[in-house]
Amino acid sequence: QSALTQPASVSGSPGQSITISCTGTSSDVGGYNYVSWYQQHPGKAPKLMIYDVSNRPSGVSNRFSGSKSGNTASLTISGLQAEDEADYYCSSYTSSSTLAVFGTGTKVTVL
């Protein structure tokens, strides 16, 4: 049950776009379209931002978008805002385990 690999940190200026990667294997990210993304502000519970690779739940800004290529999924935040500063985690179904697996997490900083 190894965690998916994410960059430790990503930063950008207000209004810019940033992309966070989430790398797994053919047993998880690459094999299924069951990748989700969560946003977590300090001291708060995570919030679902993207599910099934690219679907946004109701109420999530369309500045957030998801995609996948091979064994790597990506979350793009466009028009970066101060409120986007948070930790982001990817998650994927995996055939290697009976439970899903999270990514290592990425801290997004708005400069």
Partner 1 sequence: EVQLVESGGGLVQPGGSLRLSCAASGFTFSSYWMSWVRQAPGKGLEWVANIKQDGSEKYYVDSVKGRFTISRDNAKNSLYLQMNSLRAEDTAVYYCAREVEAGVVDYWGQGTLVTVSS
Count the site residues for partner 1 by CB under 8 A.
26
Closest approach of partner 1 to the CB of residue 23, in Å:
15
Could you tell me the CA-to-CA distances from 55 to 12, 18, 58, 68 in Å, in that order?
24, 18, 10, 12
Strand partners, 1: none
Q: What separation in angstroms does the CA of 106 have from each of 45, 53, 56, 63, 96? A: 16, 17, 19, 18, 23
Query: Toward partner 1, which CB reaches closer, 74 or 91?
Result: 91
Instruction: Identify the residue among 13, 62, 82, 99 touching partner 1 (CB under 8 A).
Output: 99
Binding residue for partner 1, selected from 24, 68, 103, 110, defined by CB under 8 A: 103
- Regarding 45 and contact with partner 1 (CB under 8 A), the answer is yes
Going by C-alpha positions, the residue among 75, 69, 78 that lies closest to residue 106 is 75
Give the number of other CB atoms < 10 A from CB of residue 111. Answer: 9
CB of 20 to partner 1, least distance (A): 14
Q: List contacts with partner 1 (CB under 8 A).
A: 1, 3, 34, 36, 38, 40, 45-48, 51-52, 57, 89, 91-94, 98-105
